[in-house]
Amino acid sequence: MAKLTTRTENYSEWYNQIVQEAQLAENSSVRGCMVIKPYGFAIWENIKNILDAMFKATGHTNAYFPLFIPKSFLSKEASHVEWFAKECAVITHYRLKNDPNGKGVIVDPEAKLDEELIVRPTSETIIWDSYRNWIHSYRDLPLLINQWANVVRWEMRTRIFLRTMEFLWQEGHTAHSTADEAEEEAKKMLMVYSDFVGNFMGIYHILGQKPEHEKFAGAVRTYSFEPMMQDGKALQAGTSHNLGQNFAKAFDVQFTNKNNQQEYVYATSWWVSTRLMGGLIMAHSDDQGLVLPPALAPIHLVVVPVFKTEEDLIAIKNYLGSALDTLKNSQITISSPTLGEWKMPVVVKIDEDSQKSPGWKYNEYELKGVPLRIAIWARDMAQGHVELYRRDTQEKQFVKIEDLASTVSSLLHDIQKNVYTKHQSLTETNTYKVDTYEEFKEKVESWFVLAHWDWTTETALQIQEETKATIRCIPFDSPEESGVDMITGKPSTRRVLFAKAY
């Protein structure tokens, strides 16, 4: 039975082992590309379904744009190309032919493209090229579109979920008739992410605005949520951008406004990706494996019957029958500003496999983060109870069979709250207000730091150079407070959030 490396022994190895042992994903034969395995993909499907409902509840529709982008598009928006056009998958040919030496196939040199195609690293350019034909008047606005897609960035050092060459994401691309409306949309979608990350993923996070030098290429303002991982690093897992008129200008998308004047369209874009899976793992899991919030768990309750004969198994199933039926017809309810009371069915699995031992199964479902487990022996039936194990706190209790359904239901809601509270407590305990650079360097090595900063890119880059910490965001809730920059001594009016980051 595999035992995980602990977080304190080797955090990075612990992460890799959870990904592997919980059967979430694995590396493929294509360097940097992952295979998302069924159990991992079931979690991603839950993430996707809930987010998709949120986007629709806020008026967005889905569409689909091409995988390929003509090379010339990437350099139309000047700052965009600096971010994205460098490390990418370039298609130069469109045909293979049999190797004349009889060894498989080779690229046909005659099938060379006139203009190379790039596998999309993000879709602003190809989408705004389409929007040019869709938007003519203020009556065509706002245009609120989202796309679920795969994207490719040629990363040299990859880690499953956190940084892969190909990853899955959603990218919202909206068009508006005023600057205010675009700003409102960018902030609204950040709050949608915050709703999802907090209420469904159970992840506490700090909301704020990126400083100038950290914002997205082509953006006027970038907003992000910044959660702390258990090693004290931040994970940048989603951003929302007010793009102003930059892409509209690059792709010449103008509209006739209400005053009958031609004007460039205002834009936003916002995305989260399979990186969220990495955050989910690193925020909650422990040395026994994955810990999942019930809102995203593919299985909520696993039943491990301990039996020798087929008759025993039948007796156990009959004994549990009505409680499990009640549970399968019950729902978990999550309160969400975006979705209201969101309900999802309780999923119960009975593991009847007779080849594997109960101990093996316990370990397996602990690794996989199933929130609740019932172990039941024939003797429990006489005593009228079952043993219920709770994954997040690792507590066991005996529950009377007549209370089972209500206890499970109430515990699932409790676990959902508890993973969040625990993560909030981790974050708050390990976020330090610091006023000297000495203390800064010590704390930021391991944790979040709130410090004054002189608002210059130079100072931020010096700090990054010397400590590897970056300004994660200017928190919305950071109060006005007079102070001085730790290094330059220049005045500052509020603290910003520093951390090392994934």
163 near a copy of itself, judged by CB under 8 A = no
Give the relative orientation of helices 11-21 and 275-284 as an angle to the nearest 10 degrees: 110
| Cβ atoms of residues 417 and 335 within 8 Å | no
Helix (H) or strand (E) holding 399: strand 395-400
Helix (H) or strand (E) holding 395: strand 395-400
Q: Residues 68, 264, 377, 437: which binds a copy of itself (CB under 8 A)?
A: 68
72 near a copy of itself, judged by CB under 8 A = yes
Q: Residues 12, 62, 309, 421: which binds a copy of itself (CB under 8 A)?
A: 62
- Closest approach, Cβ 91 to a copy of itself, in A, equals 5
The count of chain residues that interact with a copy of itself, using the rule CB under 8 A, is 63
- Closest approach, Cβ 99 to a copy of itself, in A, equals 8
86 near a copy of itself, judged by CB under 8 A = yes
| Cβ atoms of residues 172 and 278 within 8 Å | no
> Per CB under 8 A, which region of 78-86, 221-229, 261-269, 438-446 contacts a copy of itself?
78-86
- Closest approach, Cβ 267 to a copy of itself, in A, equals 17
- Closest approach, Cβ 95 to a copy of itself, in A, equals 6
183 near a copy of itself, judged by CB under 8 A = no
397 near a copy of itself, judged by CB under 8 A = no
- Closest approach, Cβ 121 to a copy of itself, in A, equals 11
Q: Residues 4, 22, 36, 229: which binds a copy of itself (CB under 8 A)?
A: 36
Residue appearing with tokens 């042992």: 21
Q: Residues 13, 87, 287, 438: which binds a copy of itself (CB under 8 A)?
A: 87
161 near a copy of itself, judged by CB under 8 A = no
* Alpha carbon 500 to its chain's center: 18
| Cβ atoms of residues 74 and 125 within 8 Å | yes
Residue 125, judged by CB atoms within 10 A of its CB (0-12, 13-18, 19+), counts as: buried
Print the binding letters for residues 88-127 with a copy of itself: x by CB under 8 A, - otherwise. xxxxxxxxxx------xx-x--------xxxx------x-
- Closest approach, Cβ 342 to a copy of itself, in A, equals 16
User: Which residues lie closer than 8 Å to 302 by C-beta, 6 or more apart?
Assistant: 348, 349, 350, 351, 361, 365, 370, 372, 373, 374
139 near a copy of itself, judged by CB under 8 A = yes
140 near a copy of itself, judged by CB under 8 A = no
75 near a copy of itself, judged by CB under 8 A = yes
Q: Residues 57, 81, 191, 313: which binds a copy of itself (CB under 8 A)?
A: 81
Beta bridge partners of 375: 304, 387
CA angle centred on 372, ends 366 and 378, rounded to 5°:
95
Q: Residues 154, 264, 377, 437: which binds a copy of itself (CB under 8 A)?
A: 154
Phi and psi of 439, rounded to 5°?
A: -65, -40
CA distances to 95, 100, 109, 112 from 103, rounded to whole Å, are 16, 8, 17, 22
484 near a copy of itself, judged by CB under 8 A = no
CA angle centred on 195, ends 429 and 144, rounded to 5°:
140
- Closest approach, Cβ 180 to a copy of itself, in A, equals 23
Q: Per-residue b/e over 345-381, b at no fewer than 16 CB within 10 Å?
A: ebbbebbeeeeeeeeebbbbbbbbbbbbbbbbbbebb
Write out the residues near a copy of itself by the rule CB under 8 A: 26, 28-30, 33-38, 41-42, 44-45, 61-75, 81, 85-97, 104-105, 107, 116-119, 126, 129-130, 133, 139, 145, 149-150, 152, 154, 166, 168, 355
